[in-house]
A and B are shown apart, each in its own frame.
Chain A
Amino acid sequence: MASDLVLPGQPIPLPRGPVPQLGRGVYEKDEQVRASLVGVPHFEGSSLVISRLRPQPPAPNSVVLGSITRLSPLQALLSITVVDDIPLPPGEEFTGVIRSQDVRATEKDKVKIGDCFRGGDVVRGLVISLGDARSYFITTARNDLGVIFATSEAGATMEPVSWQEMRCPKTGKIEKRKCAKPEGLS
Chain B
Amino acid sequence: MQSTFDRRRINGPEESLPPVFISEPQDTFSNTPVARKSRKVSDIRPIFLQPGLITQANGSAYIETERTKIACSVYGPRQSKNTAYNEKGKLNVEVKFAPFSCEHRRAPLRDAEDRSIAVAIQQALLPSVQLEHFPKSTIDVFVIILEADGIEGCIASGAIAASTALANAGIDMYGLVTSCAAAVIEADIWVDPTQEESNTANGTLVLSCMPALGIVTNSWQTGRMTPSELLACIDACSGRCTDIHSVVAQGLLNSAHDET
Residues of B within 8 A of A37 (CB): 167, 170, 172-173
* B130 x A27 contact (CB < 8 A): yes
The answer to the question of B203 belonging to the interface, with a C-beta cut-off of 8 Å to chain A, is no
Which chain B residues in 240-260 approach chain A with CB under 8 Å?
Answer: 249, 252-253, 256-257, 260
Interface contacts (Cβ under 8 Å), in number, total: 85
The answer to the question of A8 belonging to the interface, with a C-beta cut-off of 8 Å to chain B, is yes
The answer to the question of A89 belonging to the interface, with a C-beta cut-off of 8 Å to chain B, is yes
Given A9-B176, A38-B256, do A57 and B85 touch, yes or no (CB 8 Å)?
no
The answer to the question of B180 belonging to the interface, with a C-beta cut-off of 8 Å to chain A, is no
Residues of B within 8 A of A132 (CB): 85
Among A9, A25, A29, A53, the most chain B Cβ lie within 10 Å of the Cβ of: A9
The answer to the question of A105 belonging to the interface, with a C-beta cut-off of 8 Å to chain B, is no
What class of interface size applies to chain B in its complex with A? Answer: 20 to 34
The answer to the question of A185 belonging to the interface, with a C-beta cut-off of 8 Å to chain B, is no
Partner of B213, one of A9, A56, A95, A133: A9
Residues of A within 8 A of B176 (CB): 7-9
Partner of A7, one of B135, B170, B253: B253
* B172 x A5 contact (CB < 8 A): no
Interface string of A130-159 (1 = CB under 8 A from B): 101100000000000000000000000000
* A7 x B174 contact (CB < 8 A): no
* B256 x A5 contact (CB < 8 A): yes
How far, in angstroms, from A31 to B141 measured CA to CA in the complex? 32
The answer to the question of A164 belonging to the interface, with a C-beta cut-off of 8 Å to chain B, is no
The secondary structure that dominates the A interface is: loop
Partner of B212, one of A9, A24, A38: A9
In angstroms, how far is the closest chain A Cβ from the Cβ of B178? 11
Residues of B within 8 A of A25 (CB): 172
The answer to the question of B224 belonging to the interface, with a C-beta cut-off of 8 Å to chain A, is no
* A2 x B257 contact (CB < 8 A): yes
Partner of A133, one of B85, B168, B172: B85
How far, in angstroms, from A37 to B13 measured CA to CA in the complex? 47
Which chain B residues in 159-201 approach chain A with CB under 8 Å?
Answer: 167-170, 172-176
* A interface list, Cβ under 8 A from B: 2, 5, 7-10, 24-25, 27, 29, 34, 36-39, 52-57, 89, 92-95, 130, 132-133
A-B contacts, 17 listed (Cβ < 8 Å): A2-B260, A5-B256, A8-B173, A8-B212, A9-B210, A27-B130, A29-B174, A34-B175, A34-B213, A37-B172, A38-B168, A38-B256, A54-B58, A57-B136, A89-B58, A93-B79, A130-B85
Q: Shortest 3 CB-CB distances between A and B: which pairs?
A: A9-B175, A9-B212, A54-B170
* B interface list, Cβ under 8 A from A: 58-59, 75-79, 83-85, 128, 130, 134-137, 167-170, 172-176, 210, 212-213, 249, 252-253, 256-257, 260
